[in-house]
């Protein structure tokens, strides 16, 4: 295919607006997969990936005839989730246009807006498409009006389709061919290839997804990576149709996969450029490494299962380099990991996969964020200039006497909601220390809010609360907005004046009392009574801000036995002895692991 007959595009949409269904239809009508019961081919591969056996299905090449000419269409898949903005942008970097898909019933949602801007900022041709027009409640005029108000789209540009029934789907392909420009690439120039994804395949090793910008890449070519200067031989190269089909050659403008005997995905940096050995070209601007924003501890419920958990985590992170992994150790929970994620959904997805890979249960602690603090007189600290440190583990927060400034991570969020719920949403936002930046109507009855939140405030239940306040009608998306000056305190907890260090937390000054009170109450509920009274205290700078007492109690597990059933009695006593083994001792107080789990778990 000459470059003029190639189109590289992507479908972007809010979750459930029909991206997978449309992708399936496109694959079917181009004969890439047989007609009929092909439900969600790209997603099926994704399930395989989740089990760690195959690949990320990021692209598929389709051939389509339009007005008597055959075109090569590369459909580049993007993850549709809130946390994966950076992944969406790197997929979009290999495209010249996007299909912006919107559900004709639900209308424009928060992720639609976020995705639109990612495409818009990269100067891509945007094809607006209304999906699900077969639905009885579809409101095409209203949604077109929203798109006009938000994206400056004209009515006659908008395609109206039903991906499910197949109507209008041909027009999507025609629009891609007619409206999306062909890639600006030259196959006569020296090779310049752009790596937009890489993953580890259990059988084949590292596989990269490449867009060939200039020149030709062939099997057997020796190529060099711009960032590392390392040279490899291409052992296999081809297109995704929709699975890997070797073609031995990729020309400028084409998108496909390649393998080159790499051992580690770290060698294939996303955003990197490669060229023929000794024929260096100007590399394309790369991508920033994704920085984790949300952190949580992960421990096996049973310490003997630590090795299995470790191997499951190692396996999962092979294909998800954006998870930051460090060993962690807690006297109560034993050996485990502290993991850093891009966001909440990323954390949940990882957690779910871990459960699939590893059936024993893991304890995940409540998530926290990374704070930055300015240290008086401190030298040689690397982050943020010499006098800033990053605090991840609350126990390692320095003495407040030497801290002169506290900074916390913020997010810019978009909320789209029916106007009826504005008051309750505003209340929720203020309650979470949100700062309302903007509020505008996107049609007669729906409003878009822009709210700046401290990331720590949306970590727990925010989305659930928003959904329940609005009967599920509001949508929410957010992105990183840097750091803001704030007031933080370290809250620690004591049982009979002994510090329980795994419960130490950092929170906003205004939240300290409420948080301390909640934790003390939970401890009171979960720490079993002992033969003496236990005082439970929450403290800030040695000052008690919350307290509870656990009354003394003479524990007699056999009291529950009716009469003299001796075997039952021995069994219970044995059970009690076993229980004791799992206790953490704070001074002379035995605390079952369960208590920690209940307090720490999100």
With CB under 5 A as the rule, give the number of residues binding Mg ion.
1
Of the pair 161, 333, the CB lying nearest ligand GDP is at 161
Given a contact cutoff of 8 angstroms between Cβ atoms, the answer to whether 102 and 13 are in contact is yes
In angstroms, give the least distance from the CB of 32 to ligand GDP: 17
Stretch that binds Mg ion, among 15-23, 114-122, 148-156, 509-517 (CB under 5 A): 15-23
Stretch that binds ligand GDP, among 130-138, 240-248, 290-298, 562-570 (CB under 6 A): 130-138
Binding flag, residue 514, ligand GDP (CB under 6 A): no
Q: Phi, psi at residue 540, to the nearest 5°?
A: -125, 125
Of the pair 20, 112, the CB lying nearest Mg ion is at 20
Of the pair 20, 182, the CB lying nearest ligand GDP is at 20
Binding flag, residue 10, Mg ion (CB under 5 A): no
| Cα 374 from Cα 387, distance rounded (Å) | 6
Burial 292-321 (b: 16+ CB within 10 A, else e): bbbbbbbbbeeeebeeebbebbebbbbbbb
Cα-Cα-Cα-Cα dihedral of 487, 490, 496, 501, to 10°? 160
Stretch that binds ligand GDP, among 128-136, 283-291, 341-349, 554-562 (CB under 6 A): 128-136
In angstroms, give the least distance from the CB of 100 to ligand GDP: 12
In angstroms, give the least distance from the CB of 20 to Mg ion: 3
Lookup: tokens for 367: 């998530």
With CB under 6 A as the rule, give the number of residues binding ligand GDP.
15
Binding flag, residue 466, ligand GDP (CB under 6 A): no
| Cα 549 from Cα 534, distance rounded (Å) | 6
Stretch that binds ligand GDP, among 132-140, 411-419, 480-488, 539-547 (CB under 6 A): 132-140
Binding flag, residue 134, ligand GDP (CB under 6 A): yes
Helix (H) or strand (E) holding 265: none
| Cα 187 from Cα 205, distance rounded (Å) | 28
Binding flag, residue 47, ligand GDP (CB under 6 A): no
Residue of 10, 20, 78, 105 that binds Mg ion (CB under 5 A): 20
Residue of 135, 392, 422, 521 that binds ligand GDP (CB under 6 A): 135
| Cα 526 from Cα 529, distance rounded (Å) | 9
Identify what 355 binds: ligand GDP, Mg ion, none; CB under 5 to 8 Å per kind. Answer: none
Given a contact cutoff of 8 angstroms between Cβ atoms, the answer to whether 92 and 75 are in contact is no
Q: Which residues contact 71 (CB under 8 A, 6 or more apart)?
A: 1, 5, 6, 7, 63, 64, 65, 177
Count the neighbouring beta carbons within 10 Å of the beta carbon of residue 527: 24
Instruction: Tell me which residues in 149-178 interact with ligand GDP (CB under 6 A).
Output: 162-164
Binding flag, residue 132, ligand GDP (CB under 6 A): yes
Given a contact cutoff of 8 angstroms between Cβ atoms, the answer to whether 187 and 10 are in contact is no
| Cα 106 from Cα 565, distance rounded (Å) | 64
Q: Phi, psi at residue 507, to the nearest 5°?
A: -145, 170
In angstroms, give the least distance from the CB of 42 to Mg ion: 8
Instruction: Tell me which residues in 14-33 interact with ligand GDP (CB under 6 A).
Output: 15-21
Binding site for ligand GDP (CB under 6 A): 13, 15-21, 131-132, 134-135, 162-164
């Amino acid at each position: 295919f000459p470059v003029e007959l190639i189109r590289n595009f992507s479908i972007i949409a809010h979750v459930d607006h029909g991206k997978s269904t449309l992708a399936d239809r496109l694959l079917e009508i181009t004969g890439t997969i047989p007609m009929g019961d092909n439900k969600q081919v790209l997603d099926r591969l994704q399930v395989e990936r989740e089990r760690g056996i195959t690949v990320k299905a990021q692209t598929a090449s389709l051939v389509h005839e339009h007005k008597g000419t055959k075109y090569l269409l590369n459909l580049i898949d993007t993850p549709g989730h809130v946390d994966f903005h950076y992944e969406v942008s790197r997929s979009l970097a290999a495209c010249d246009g996007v299909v912006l898909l919107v559900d004709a019933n639900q209308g424009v949602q928060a992720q639609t807006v976020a995705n639109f801007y990612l495409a818009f900022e990269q100067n891509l041709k945007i094809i607006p498409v209304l999906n699900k027009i077969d639905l009885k409640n579809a409101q095409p005029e209203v949604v077109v009006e929203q798109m006009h108000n938000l994206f400056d789209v004209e009515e006659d540009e908008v395609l109206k389709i039903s991906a499910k029934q197949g109507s209008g789907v041909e027009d999507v392909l025609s629009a891609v061919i007619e409206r999306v420009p062909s890639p600006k690439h030259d196959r006569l120039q020296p090779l310049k290839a752009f790596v937009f994804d890489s993953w580890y395949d259990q059988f084949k090793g590292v596989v990269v997804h490449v867009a060939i910008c200039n020149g030709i890449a062939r099997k057997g070519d020796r190529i060099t990576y711009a960032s590392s200067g390392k040279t490899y031989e291409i052992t296999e190269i081809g297109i995704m149709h929709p699975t890997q089909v070797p073609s031995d050659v990729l020309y400028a403008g084409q998108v496909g996969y390649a393998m080159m005997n790499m051992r580690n995905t770290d060698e294939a940096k996303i955003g990197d450029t490669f060229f023929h050995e000794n024929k260096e070209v100007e590399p394309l601007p790369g991508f920033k490494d994704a920085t984790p924003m949300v952190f949580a501890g992960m421990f096996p419920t049973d310490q003997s299962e630590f090795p299995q958990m470790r191997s499951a985590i190692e396996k999962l992170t092979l294909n998800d380099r954006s998870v930051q992994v460090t060993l962690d150790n807690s006297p109560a929970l034993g050996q485990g990991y502290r993991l850093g994620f891009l966001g909440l959904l990323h954390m949940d997805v990882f957690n779910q996969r871990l459960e699939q890979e590893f059936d024993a249960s893991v304890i995940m602690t409540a998530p926290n964020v990374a704070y930055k603090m300015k240290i008086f007189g401190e030298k040689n600290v690397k982050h943020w200039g010499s006098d800033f440190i990053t605090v991840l583990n609350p126990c390692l927060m320095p003495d407040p006497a030497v801290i002169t400034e506290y900074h916390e991570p913020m997010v810019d969020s978009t909320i789209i909601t029916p106007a009826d719920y504005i008051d309750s949403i505003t209340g929720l936002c203020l309650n979470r220390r949100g700062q309302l930046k903007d509020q505008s109507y996107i049609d007669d009855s729906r409003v878009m809010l822009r709210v700046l939140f401290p990331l720590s405030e949306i970590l727990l239940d925010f989305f659930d609360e928003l959904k329940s306040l609005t009967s599920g009608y509001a949508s929410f998306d957010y992105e990183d907005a840097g750091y803001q000056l704030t007031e933080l305190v370290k809250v620690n907890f004591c049982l009979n004046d002994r510090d329980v260090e795994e419960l130490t937390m950092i929170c906003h000054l205004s939240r300290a009392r409420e948080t301390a009170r909640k934790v003390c109450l939970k401890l009171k509920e979960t720490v079993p009574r002992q033969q003496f009274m236990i005082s439970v205290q929450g403290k800030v700078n040695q000052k008690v801000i919350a307290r509870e007492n656990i009354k003394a109690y003479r524990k007699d597990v056999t009291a529950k036995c009716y009469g003299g059933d001796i075997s039952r009695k021995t069994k219970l006593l044995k059970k009690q002895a076993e229980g004791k083994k799992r206790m953490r001792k704070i001074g002379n107080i035995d605390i079952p692991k369960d208590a920690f789990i209940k307090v720490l778990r999100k």
